[in-house]
Amino acid sequence: MFQFLTNASVQLVNRYLPSPFVFSIVLTFIALITGIALTGQNVLVMAGHWGEGLWSLHSFAMQMALILVTGYAFANAPIIQRFLDNMASKVTSPTTAIMVSTLVGLAGSWINWGFGLVVGAIFAKSLARKVANVDYPLLVAAAYSGFVIWHGGFSGSIPLTLSSGGENLVTLSGGALTEAIPLAETVFAPFNLIILFALIVVLPIVNRLMHPKNPTTVDPAIIKVEAYTVPDKNTPAQKLDDSRIVALALFAFGVLYYINYFSANGFNLGLNIVIGLFLFIGLMAHGTLERYFRAVESGIGGITGIVLLFPFYGGIMGIMTGANADGISISSQVTEFFINNASADSFPIFAFLSAGLVNVFVPSGGGQFAVQGPVMMPAGLALGVSPNVTGMAIAWGDAWTNMIQPFWALPLLGIAGLDARAIMGYCLIILAVSGAIITGGFWLLV
């Protein structure tokens, strides 16, 4: 029965899922038609909302691009590559490979979503080189399934936003929050850790059960190892480029900054702090500025989707939040529907489900919180729900439907050499299982 559902899911996606770019444009017109119907605004006005939204995510897009490329560069450091190849060499069976790929994706995404996407794809390729008869699309899907926990980890943009405080938090929470919420009450809260643990236990088993009897193996050209070329050191300039002393001096200066920052602010991780940590750690993992620059340069292609599609998702966000003269917008209508039908007990689940729906149209944790935070955070407080619970419910909803939103799979798919259709059928099953676990967690634990 499980194999039947998996095969049906794979066939459905292969037949009907468009490319991520086309998908974003289809969603744009769906949002446009919905906005006209729900808010009564005409096409010209909605086009204005769309145009204003196109350029609203530039700074956040840069942060997301930096998270990805710094995570990519770190994952591609020789020491990390050797570690992954060594792990892969100890795996002998296809089903074990699927489970281990899932665990690596989970661990990497909890540390840093960009790192998790990249290290998962690289490890999947290592496994494909060493394990015979493993289904390569499922191997990559298993690595991507770990991404479902990213918003409950160190690089989650919503918990990091909640912990950053300041005027931005007041605005994003609709005035409901004036003080920062520490990570101890979000990422490290007991309910969040239990949900994480349940997913870490269940997802590897689910992915293992999906392995087909007739696996799709990989083209050897896709998984070949790119040989690293040591730069020439024939001139003083080349020696300076590849100097470990210069890299060490820069790293030491970065360490001094972080000592000063954490002494003044405690263990308060914002997006920029996380990006900087991965930048300096990645630099030391490569050893020199020149080698780190090359690693970043090789990962730049992975941000194509961010650069091209973020403006269009910003436009969708503009349509979603564009209000008429009475203050009615699509996002307010969707959110208020859940609020009007919720109690203190059910509100976290409604927040989770509504966030999952909004994420299909606005696949950005920070962008999504800008859409939902000003409405959901005050509503949660009015119902007696703790702000940290509401924030994490939105965060998990955003992460959850990434399993069927191909936007964030683009970097991983680029490294793996696959298109979205190859893995999204498996991801539909992962969506159903993870959704049940997360919903159960919020129902029983908060």
Report the phi/psi class of residue 417: left, alpha or beta, with left for phi > 0 and alpha for psi in -120 to 50: left
CA atoms of 143 and 200, how far apart (whole Å):
12
Query: pTM for the complete prediction?
Result: 0.79
Count CB-CB contacts under 10 A for residue 256: 10
Mean pLDDT of the chain, nearest integer: 85
3-state secondary structure of 90: coil
pLDDT tens digits, 354-379: 889 878 877 766 667 877 787 788 88
Amino acid 265: pLDDT? 78
Query: Which residue, 2, 396, 360, 26, is CA-closest to 199?
Result: 396
Confidence of residue 389 (pLDDT cuts 50, 70, 90): very high
pLDDT for residue 95: 95
Residue 64 pLDDT: 72
What is each CA distance from 402 to 125, 148, 175, 363, in whole angstroms? 22, 7, 28, 7
**Cβ proximity of 202 and 440 under 8 Å:** no
Nearest to 148, CA basis, from 97, 191, 88, 108: 108
In this predicted structure, the answer to whether residue 138 has a pLDDT above a threshold of 90 is: yes
pLDDT in tens, 77-112: 888 888 888 999 999 999 999 999 999 999 989 987
Greatest Cα pair distance in the chain: 71
CB under 8 Å to 257, separation ≥6 — which residues?
A: 276
